[in-house]
Amino acid sequence: MNASVDRSVLLRVLLFCSGVIEKRVTMPVLQNVLLSADESFGLIHAFATDTEISTSIHCEATVNEAGTFLIGLETFIEILRNLPDETVLIKTADAKVTIESGTARFALPIPNGADFPGMPETEGPVRLVTDASILVEGIRTVSYAIGLPDPNMLMTVLSVTSANGSLEFAATDAKRLAVTSCEWTSEKEALHFTVPPKAARAISKIDPRGDVRIKTDDFRTEVAFENGVLIYRKVDGNFPNYTAIIPNAYGAQVTTDRKRLIDALRRIQLMTPNDRGVSLTIASGRLTVAPLRDECGQGRDYLPVEGDAAFTTLLSGQYATQALEAIGTERVLLGVSDRLVGFEPVDPDGPMRSKHLIVPRVPVDIA
């Protein structure tokens, strides 16, 4: 192999691979990345896997001689980060790879790749084609609500559904629910698939330009994007029927400045160790944020609201902050029913519309 490539471009590719595979793997060979230079198309392909999730991603390069070699992923990343020039020359010969840039030169032995697995395949036709930007935004918006590891795995994934004229993303841990959707017309049949946390983090970092193409079979889901593909093993089980708990309307609601509410919640959480909760009280056009208990000291913060509602709710300050951070608008709607607290964007840009629901510590007191 003999190729030259832009350092920062190749580094982005390898960092994407690093975000996909586990840092601690049962097979040492999986700590490597397989690099292939394609002379015909002028590309360098990087393939990494931990057997649960695999990715192949490419970047443009000047390829003088095609070739393939295995190299330690984290070692290669650190070398690239510290090279003096932007142009990197990569050559292989005599079971070694040399990496040159400016005055720096590295020569590394090429590991034995006999046990390195190949790229898995997903059978069947493409089931969904959509803008990459929609898939990235949808997953970024709801992924904070994915549950912690759970024995039945039903709440440790997020859900994507294409049906009834919409494309919808959802995640829940039973104490909160994040849902975002957009109008979507497709000639293909309805599709539902789940995305585990590691795959969600990877998809949120793909190039938002161009289209993505989704394939699923009984064992895997494949996400093909502008400069690569991601394949992950499916999680058994059915995602909870979250639509049954989404309220058609709130019992009371107001709007307020999103950033000011985030700042107030962060200040008051200084008085609530271990996220013991905050109270939100609406009265006379003002929102009061306070600790659920004053055991660590007193704290209050105030901000104006629009709307004549009056209510008090007690909820997790951390959950509320994360929901608000997932909303990109300047103002936010705060709505309550007797058993749910909701945050929604006001006048959002773009096609996506979201709801962020939290189960309060006690039923909401609506005046």
Residue 257 vs residues 69, 101, 313, 339: alpha-carbon distances, Å = 53, 50, 18, 24
Residue 196 and residue 212: Cα distance in Å, rounded? Answer: 18
Q: Mind listing the pLDDT tens digit for each residue in 158-203? A: 999 998 889 999 999 989 999 999 998 777 788 999 999 999 999 9
* Residue 76 covered by a domain: yes
* Residue 358 covered by a domain: yes
Instruction: Please check the confidence at residue 367 and state whether its pLDDT lies above 70.
Output: no
Residue that is last in its domain, among 244, 278, 310: 244
Cβ proximity of 291 and 272 under 8 Å: yes
Average pLDDT over residues 299-323: 95
Residue 171 confidence (pLDDT): 95
Residue 165 structural domain: 128-244
Q: Is the same domain home to 137 and 236? A: yes
Q: Tokens for 83?
A: 């090279």
* Residue 220 covered by a domain: yes
| For helices 317-325 and 258-269, angle between their N-to-C axes, nearest 10 degrees | 150
Average pLDDT score, the chain: 92
- The distance from CA 6 to its chain's CA centroid, rounded to whole angstroms, is 27
Q: Count Cα neighbours of 44 within 13 Å in the Cβ-side half-sphere.
A: 30
Instruction: Please check the confidence at residue 153 and state whether its pLDDT lies above 60.
Output: no
Burial state string for 71-90 with b = 16 or more CB within 10 A and e = fewer than 16? bbbeebbebbeebeeeebbb
Residue 212 and residue 43: Cα distance in Å, rounded? Answer: 20
Q: Which residue has the higher pLDDT, 294 or 346?
A: 346
Average pLDDT over residues 224-231: 96
Average pLDDT over residues 343-350: 94
Q: Mind listing the pLDDT tens digit for each residue in 67-97? A: 999 999 999 999 999 999 999 999 999 999 9
Average pLDDT over residues 231-240: 87
Residue 32 vs residues 50, 246, 366: alpha-carbon distances, Å = 10, 45, 57
Count structural domains, the chain: 3
* Residue 117 covered by a domain: no
Prediction pTM value: 0.91
Residue 154 pLDDT level (bands cut at 50, 70, 90): low
Q: Is the same domain home to 281 and 231? A: no
